[in-house]
Amino acid sequence: MYQYLRGRRAIVFGLADVLLVALSLWLAFALRFDGALPLEYQGRFLYYFLILAALNVVFLSRERLYSFAWEFVSLKELTRLFRAVTYANVVFALIIFVLRENTVLFAGFPRSIIFINYFLNLIFVGGVRIAKRVWHETVRRRPISDAPRALIVGADSEGEHLIRDLLRAGGNSPFPIAIIDHRKERVGTSIHGVRVLGGIEIIPEAVKTHNIEHVIVALAAAEADTIREAVKYAREAGVKNIKIIPDTHELLTGRVTLTDFREIEIEDLLGRNPAKIETQKISEFVRDKTVLITGAAGSIGSELSQQTMAFGPKTLVLLDSNESDLYDLHMELLRSYPAKNLHSVVANIVNRDKMFKIIKKISPDVIFHAAAYKHVPLMEDFPDEAVETNLFGTLNVAEAAIRSRVPKFVLISTDKAINPTSVMGKTKRAAEIVTQELNKKGITRFVSVRFGNVIGSRGSVVPLFKEQIKSRSPLTVTHPDMTRYFMTIPEAALLVMEAGAAGEGGEIFMLDMGKPVKILEVAKEMIRLAGLRPDVDIPIVFIGIRPGEKIFEEVVSDEERRVGQTQWDKILITKNQNSKSSESVGENLRNLKSALAGGAEKTAAALDRFVV
């Protein structure tokens, strides 16, 4: 019977409202006339009730308050309810005042009844709905003894939503016992009856006092330093189950909720504040547009593809020379976005004629150029391949874009292009120079976006360390002082798109990478995350700096000046003061093309002359 009625929520609430309107109107008369309904109104009461009940149902339906699950009622729904009841009673009052002098039905109707009924109407109709949430959060609240005891870190909106969801959850979900927050003003307050005990430093004491089994970090918008401190204190307290809520970009997709918390990962601890992504600007940039992504099957390219699809392009074209990974990406995107217009193209960007044909056929509005060789030590041995792909491949795609009048071309660059010492860094710097020069020709606007190491990308240190930990092998670090800037793949992709939307042409955007992190500390932290002890369970060995590597990566070169902050968080602009002349760029390109035929040494020498 309960399930039958639950499936007919609108009918049940509609009937309840009709009865509550009758009750509030009768009580209004009773209060006005000392508990009795005068004889002169007894014959008319039914008509008053029918008019008022109809008005209430009409306006409540208009506000769509019969299609809402009231166990999740919030201030927004209560505002709509207030508006509906107010409208109903205002219309009822207007009917009375217009017809009061002309009809027997409303003759002598007491004006005070209108106001008394209005307030009773609000109390009854609103109260029955609020009662459902009170029931779910108090009477139906599961006993603490039935579930693992959890300590929530974070008393902001994320923490509030998480606690509310956990209190409603059943089964073996963690039960929130207390809250920890790093802001002093929150200490002593309560969220849904769960008290904020104190700052991060009291986690060990709270764990001991309240027999905590789980620590859940609800700090999606907080500094990574705070997360790192919370994890450190939780470990010291002996807590084995330390979790964190999903990232913002995962929540935006709608495929996960706050209660789908996950294990703490190295990305959460690398000391970088998350950017405030201007998603509306990105949406305007790619929605209903034809977007081409080169190098789509790579780490950055595949994430760009995922994020682009989420913003609803007219068509997305994936281009890569790796057909296996391209196929896998295509099928993954089709599973997530089955109704989208998606195409894959197997091609190599060094094939100039093919690039011109493909781009002419596609006629894209935006090109994200992510295709490149990026492995620093490997490219030291093959400078000719690096130049062919990273420079001349870029030139092929860029000139094809100009020919086909593509509005925007976004070059994915690297912080290794700043005062480059490696072949890879030099080729990317040369590509920046070339696209800046091409920005002067045609209608295509060229922008470059630089960023540092992307956590989890192919060839980066994090996947290497994971494999070494898995096999219980020593973790290999090149130098004790080796530092790098780190960024997560999803954030890097979104910031690239945001910078592309912001660029007017000719800029080199730098993504604010936060604080540099020692690779040695990354290694130690990853060992701890695996539940092991650095240099006890797994040793760390130093193997020496590899060819082309720097100990410290730079943020900006001496030849560049920072124009300043953009209006977009984490995106900076640089301009090169000593830009090369068109003649110099053309001559260097011709020299490099000739050097390619002479082998690796001649190519490397010509590349050096280009970027000096």
Count helices and strands (H / E) in the chain.
Answer: 23, 22
3-state secondary structure of 242: strand
Residues 194 and 453: their CA atoms lie apart, in Å, by 40
Q: Alpha-carbon distance 150 to 142, whole Å? A: 14
Sign of the torsion formed by the C-alpha atoms of 601, 602, 606 and 612: positive
CB atoms within 10 A of CB 437: 20
Query: CA 469, CA 538: separation in Å to the nearest integer?
Result: 7
Measured CA to CA, the distance from residue 603 to residue 384 in angstroms comes to: 6
Contacts for 547 with CB less than 8 Å, ≥ 6 apart: 376, 377, 380, 422
DSSP labels for 358-398?
A: HHHHH--SEEEE------HHHHHH-HHHHIIIIIIIHHHHH
Q: From CA 34, how far away is CA 250, in angstroms rounded?
A: 60
> Computed from CA positions of residues 277, 417, 477, 468, in that sequence, does the dihedral angle turn out positive or negative?
positive
Return the H-helix or E-strand segment holding 554. none
* Helix, strand or coil, per DSSP, at residue 465: helix
Taking every pair of Cα atoms in the chain, the longest distance, rounded to a whole number of angstroms, is: 112
Query: Does residue 416 have an active-site annotation?
Result: yes
- DSSP letter assigned to residue 70: G
Closest CA to 213 of 146, 161, 137, 141: 146
Q: Which of 289, 374, 416, 428 is catalytic?
A: 416
The catalytic residues are: 416
